[in-house]
Structure 1
Amino acid sequence: MTGYLTDPTASAESDALFAEDEADLGYVMNTTRLWAHDPAAERGLFALLGQVTAGTSLDFRRRAILVSATASAFGDPYCSLAWGSRLAGVAGDDVAGAVLSGDDSGLPAADQAMARWARRVARAPHATTATDVDELREAGFPDAEIFAMTVFVALRLAFSTVNNALGATPDDRLRADAPPAVRAAIPR
């Protein structure tokens, strides 16, 4: 079983997803097993995520901040662990643990504004205001990047929604490999 679903039917596409995880991580993630039910959907989603951030200032570090802030605000332990660990690799364990806990004080001002925006979108997108968008502009983000980060956050929420709704739980190895500050910020 993968979450609440049975294991996907084997196919060349699902085998390719599994092989990528094995090569990158040494094991197949539970989310990969889940998305192997429709590998084209997984590929399409991640292609769109790449497309929306191409040509922006949303480099790996900033994407890690966005996903960590989004996932933790949304209550997604899987993506919080995975991306909190990635953020720790580029910003330090304590910064990552703090961002997951809602404390952005260790980030530059522009990144703090971006993390606050991600949390607002994750928690109550209907409650955002022009003042919230102005905060991003004042932090130096042009409208095209504000749009890109908002679409990126929304797509990450879609990914998290599927994973959570279908019972994908964090892999034991993912939890074990996460820095202590990241693990401490994630409720079990």
Structure 2
Amino acid sequence: MIGFLHDPEPSAGAERLYADDIDELGYVMNVSKLWAYAPDVCDDLFGLMRSAVAGRLPLRTRAILVVAATSAFGDSYCALAWGEKLIAETATDTAAGVVTGADTGLTDAERALAAWARRVARDPAATTEADVETLRTAGYSDADIFAMTVFIALRIAFATVNDALGVQPDAQLADRVPAELRAAVTFGRAPARP
């Protein structure tokens, strides 16, 4: 079982997803097992995410957006996985601070990003022109703001599928991230245990 679903039928696309995980991480992620039901859809979704931010948002910025948005949304898996990426770009206390909303260690411009990501994730219809103006004042162009909003929406779509179908964060991921990050992720599904 993967989440609430039975394991998908073997396919070339599934094997490719699994092989990519093993090459990168040494194990197959639970999300890959789920998305093995539709590996082409997974490829297309991640292609859209890459296209949305192509050359516009560096990894640190993307990590802040994902951690802030998925934490606000209540997705533990992406908060842990992208929290680990944010740690690599900043520090453990910074990543934990973005998870909790304290935004410790972020610049003023990055705090504006994190606030925007949380607003979009929690209630996109409640955003205001003033929220967008805050991003402009922080130095982001309208094209940047559009790109980051599309990116957040696509990441939330990905998290929605995973969460709705019961996928838990990998035990290996939970064991690998620093305790401070694990402690900050008090929402969503608990990590899987072997």
TM class, shorter-length: over 0.9
Q: Which amino acid aligns with 1:54?
A: A
* Residue of structure 1 equivalent to 2:168: 169
- Over the matched positions of the two proteins, sequence identity in percent amounts to 53
2:91 is aligned with 1:92: yes
- Alignment check: 8 A CA contact 2:93 2:104 kept: no
1:60-82 deviations in Å (ceiling 9; x for gaps):
11101100001100000110111
Q: Deviations over 1:132-152 (max 9, x none)?
A: 000000000000010000000
For 2:149, the aligned partner's letter is T
Distance 2:90 2:64 in 1: 9
Residue identity opposite 2:86 in structure 1: L
1:156 maps to 155
Superposed CA deviations along residues 103-126 of structure 1, whole A, max 9, x for unmatched, are 114101111100000000000101
Secondary structure (helix, strand or coil) at the match of 1:42 reads helix
Deviations along 1:152-185, whole A, 9 cap, x unmatched?
0000000000000000001111100011111010
Structure 1 unaligned blocks of 5 or more: none
Is the 1:34–1:168 contact (alpha carbons within 8 Å) kept by the matching residues of 2?
yes
1:46 is aligned to 46
Alignment partner, residue 59 of structure 1: 58
Q: Which runs of 5+ in 2 are unaligned?
A: none
Q: TM-score, normalised by structure 2?
A: 0.95
Aligned residues: 187
1:75-101, Cα deviation, whole Å (9 max, x unpaired): 001101111111111111010011101
The answer to whether the aligner puts 1:136 opposite 2:135 as a matched pair is: yes
Runs of 4+ in 1 over 6 A off after TM superposition: none
Q: Which amino acid aligns with 2:38?
A: D
SS of 1:117's partner is: helix
Query: Which residue of the partner structure matches residue 109 of structure 1?
Result: 108
CA distance in 1, matches of 2:42, 2:87: 25
Partners of 1:104 and 1:178 in 2: how far apart? 19
Q: Is the 8 A contact 1:96 1:181 kept in 2?
A: no
User: What is the aligned partner in structure 2 of residue 32 from structure 1?
Assistant: 32
Deviations 1:35-83 (A, max 9, x none): 0100000000000000010121x11111011000011000001101111
- Between the aligned partners of 1:100 and 1:144, the Cα distance in structure 2 is 26
In 2: Cα distance, 1:36 partner to 1:103 partner = 36
Which amino acid is 2:167 matched to? A
Q: State TM-score, norm by structure 1.
A: 0.98
